[in-house]
Amino acid sequence: MKSFSFLEIDEYQLEITSYCNAACPQCPRNINGGAINPHMPLLHLDRGVIDSAFDADLCQRLRQIFFCGSYGDPIMHPDFLEILRDFRAKNPTLWLYFHTNGGAHDQIYWAEIANIMQGHGQIDFGIDGLADTLGLYRRNVIFDRVIQNATAFIEAGGRAQWNFIVFQHNQHQVHTARQLSQDLGFFNFLPRRTGRFFHHGQERELDQWPVMDRHGQTLYFLEPPTDPQWRNASVKKLPFLRARYQDLADYFDKTPIHCDALAGKKVAVNAEGTVLPCNFFNHNLYDARFHDDQLPGANRLHNLSDKNNQVRIFLERYGLHNLNINHRSLEEIFDCQMWTDLVSSWHLDRTHGRLFECAMTCGAEFTKVWDQGGNTR
């Protein structure tokens, strides 16, 4: 049975910080866009630790370093430019790729990123609307500043993609934003058909998502798009899936799991330095829904008992320090039994060890994550 192998992994997805300048309501780093998630550690992954873990020999055989994660934006790491330079010095053609809201720093900073990438890299800018709508989701991010920063990156030779999450409030702007992206020199415009309105606790799609301030007061609501072309395909077919299974839990018990990370020869490293199969594991580690009644909800599907953090329980069996680059080399981390046990669990049901997150994200039919666009399986 194929498992994760140190010698075969050729992409690492690094979340180098849990800090972010934005407050997106559907991001697990805050409570519906308000107070910062108290269960999430706020920290930066040390540049020296990264430099030591990813030595020149390893970087020479890697295909890509993808700076992304579940909580932070890489531009908030105080040493981000130096970290990029470290990787570039070890491999002149290593693909350096990251997602960002683009709302921090000045134009000189963004032009320098293009200079460091030297044609071997890409930035996906999350720009979910125009000047009058961007801030409804990317809270605290100013449209004009993002456009100025993205333009500086592009004009310095950078390759940029415009990612646009479609909501009800911005669906009428997709065409205008696409045209603007072409005018500014983005190589691609990617509308994203969000699957985040699926409520895990209630096993249904939400028709609205509250946006709160830091005191927990609801300010307004986000709504999924009404235009059929921007609807998530898996969420749309949820009623048909229900018709085939008497209990939706049966689907998550039985669906074949085709792990995107294993197939793609990639793993994730979070801001604490913990090496994980994917960013969806990282998302689960600190998610407030396992502590409080927060969206998108936690229920019986996560461990046959309400609010159990199944992913954390699974990882703690092996000792999180044994999976951490602050304490172990990457080669030692891949010797951990966790990787083999994880792959074996995909052939079980949830009662005997299958992880709901694996079935939810990489199950064969309900593929809401991959239906969003921007990912291939």
Within-domain flag for 162: no
Name the pLDDT band for 102 (thresholds 50, 70, 90): very high
pLDDT of residue 201 exceeding 90: no
Look at residue 304 in the predicted model and tell me its pLDDT: 64
- 158 inside domain: no
Cis bond upstream, residue 296 (ω within 30): yes
pLDDT at 291: 87
Which one has a higher pLDDT value, 306 or 266?
266
**What residues contact 293, with CB distance under 8 A and at least 6 apart?**
none
Domain carrying residue 228? 11-100+193-372
Surface-to-core class of residue 257, CB atoms within 10 Å of its CB (0-12 exposed, 13-18 middle, 19+ buried) = buried
Alpha-carbon distance of 282 to 304, in angstroms, equals 21
pLDDT attached to residue 377 = 30
Which pair of tokens denotes residue 96?
Answer: 């350096």
- Evaluate whether residue 50 is within a structural domain: yes
Provide the phi-psi class of 29: left if phi over 0, else alpha when psi is between -120 and 50, else beta.
alpha
Span 272-291, pLDDT tens digits:
999 999 999 999 999 998 88
Per-residue burial over 130-168, b if 16 or more Cβ lie within 10 Å, else e, is eeebbbbbbbebebeebbebbbbbbebebbbbbbbbbbb
Q: What is the mean pLDDT of the chain?
A: 95
User: Is a pLDDT exceeding 70 seen at residue 175?
Assistant: yes
What is the value of pTM for the model shown? 0.96
- Whether the per-residue pLDDT at 171 is higher than 70: the answer is yes
User: Which residue type does 45 have?
Assistant: L
Residue 350 in domain: yes
Can you tell me the mean pLDDT for 340-346? 97
First-to-last CA distance in the chain? 20
| Res. 2 pLDDT band, cuts 50 70 90 | confident
228-286 pLDDT tens trace: 999 999 999 999 998 999 899 999 999 999 999 999 999 999 999 999 999 999 999 99
What's residue 200's pLDDT? Answer: 84
Please tell me the distance from the alpha carbon of residue 287 to that of residue 38, in angstroms, as a whole number: 10
The number of folded domains in the chain is 1
CA–CA separation, 295 and 365 (whole Å): 23
- Asked if residue 289 belongs to a domain, the reply is yes
Q: Residue 311's closest CA among 276, 346, 344, 337?
A: 276
Question: Is 90 exceeded by the pLDDT of residue 202?
Answer: no
Question: From CA 169, how far away is CA 146, in angstroms rounded?
Answer: 20
Q: For the chain, give me the number of helices (H) and strands (E)?
A: 17, 12
Percent of residues, the chain, with pLDDT higher than 70: 98
Each residue's pLDDT tens digit, 147-159: 999 999 999 999 9
- pLDDT higher than threshold 80 for residue 313: yes
pLDDT of residue 305: 65
Q: What is the mean pLDDT of residues 95-112?
A: 98
Give CA–CA dist 98/45, Å, rounded. 16
Strand (E) or helix (H) holding 204: strand 204-205
**pLDDT digits over 45-86, tens only?**
999 999 999 999 999 999 999 999 899 999 999 999 999 999
Decide: 224 and 197 in contact? Cβ < 8 Å: yes
Q: Look at residue 224 and tell me if it is in a domain.
A: yes
Q: Does residue 236 lie in a domain region?
A: yes
Distances (CA, A) of 346 to 279, 287, 317: 18, 23, 17
What is the domain-level CATH number for residue 260?
A: 3.20.20
135 located within any domain:
no
